[in-house]
Amino acid sequence: MTTSSMDHVELRERPTPGSASPKQRNRLRDRIQEGEIGTLPVLLGLVMIAAVFQLANHHFLTPLNLTNLFTQIAGVGTIAVGVVLVLLLGEIDLSVGAASGLCAAVMAVLSVKHGMPGWAAVMSGLAAGVLIGLLQGAWVTRLKVPSFVVTLAGYLGWQGALLWILGSTGTVNLVDPFIVNLVNSRLPVWAGWAVAGGAVALMAGVGFRARTRRAAAGLPPESTPWVLLLSVRALVLLGAVAVMSVNRNPRVDPPIAGVPTGVAILVALVMLLDFVTRRTRFGRHVFAVGGYAEAARRAGISVDGTRIVVFALASGLAAAGGILAASRLYAVNQSSGGGDILLDAIAAAVIGGTSLFGGRGSTWSALLGALVIGAITNGMDLLAFSSSVRFMVTGAVLLVAVTLDAYARARREQFGR
């Protein structure tokens, strides 16, 4: 099993005392044979991307460039987390890019043109995103219109609403300190280490509690050891904090160091929704609906209610991503939420390991996928490659990720999983 479906295990016949099944003797070999390789290809891909670009340009792995890379993916990564939730249902949301731009415009107009406090304008933008998701989710579930069609209509409609809200000005520059500091401020170095240490401790506590509960219930251990997962995630978090804690410009006083707030927000959202999807009843319902909706309905799960809530969460996260992107750029304009944001968000979710077929994935895949796409974009910018090359490379990476997903699905069906 992958990390996304740890709570969905099958009770298998237990071996007799003193005997061991082939899977118990060599679980790693069997997991690879069955296509259960989890996020390993993504991690290896990141290492390869970093190595190639570092050889081509020695500035790629510098603290300044890596911090810029982490900051650049905050918006798209947040949107991708919402896309992961929708994909877990086996659905799609093509409106997240347009919705992100529209909600950012709502925030900007309320803040700049109507004098609303920054925090209130941000909350209004998030509320607009949730309302968009509730509308689209209800349309999909109540009227039985495919999500592809509903969200495609939303993609067009919300773009028009963005232009209408911005009006003739076309661009709204953000000046409220609360809004612009959402991404552009930095945590103190000590605070970054404290937050990272607390996050690792929290993940360790949650993982240990889940392990003891499974053992008490007589369930077999998770296919991927929680200690291994904790070690990988802790290494990524602490390593990122170490990089961002380095003074990025020694010639400037005071030092420019610390975790950007936008990065902290993205990681916090990933961890929160990872807990929700894997450790709560609602999360189990999401996986059940995505795995087999009719079986979930017969088990008493509100399939329509689950779908509506997920669409609302996805659009709310799209609004958050749009607000973070606007904060980083200090402005909202007619192209906000457009361009390749939608494709990058969907590609990040899929490249990170979320299945297009529903029922398998993790919010961590959004972060990993966003890092892959961000690293490709950042590295090619350093090498002055054209956008055409970047699109072709990103498309090839996406095709490889989808192919691996299809292969893993075929192997699971072959082994009856």
d(CA 326, CA 384): 25
* Residue 277 · residue 89 · CB < 8 Å: no
Per-10-residue mean pLDDT of the chain, 417 residues long, equals 42 40 48 54 84 90 90 94 94 95 96 94 97 97 94 95 88 93 91 90 84 78 69 85 84 78 94 91 93 90 95 97 95 90 91 82 89 90 84 84 73 60
What pTM was computed for the model? 0.86
pLDDT in tens, 278-291: 889 999 999 999 98
Half-sphere exposure of 288 (CA within 13 A, CB side): 19
Within a 10 A sphere around the Cβ of 101, how many other Cβ atoms?
31
Q: What is the pLDDT of residue 402?
A: 78
Q: What is the pLDDT of residue 302?
A: 93
In DSSP terms, 172 is beta-bridged to: 332
Please list, in sequence order, all residues whose beta carbon lies within 8 angstroms of the beta carbon of residue 315, skipping any fewer than 6 positions away: 82, 93, 95, 96, 99, 129, 130, 131, 132, 133, 134, 136
Residue with tokens 């659905």: 91
> Alpha carbon 197 to chain centroid distance?
21
Query: Minimal CA–CA distance to 66: which of 40, 45, 39, 46?
Result: 46
**CB burial string 361-385: b at 16+ within 10 A, e below:** bbbbbbbbbbbbbbbbbbbbeeeee
Q: What is the pLDDT of residue 14?
A: 43
Q: What is the pLDDT of residue 136?
A: 97
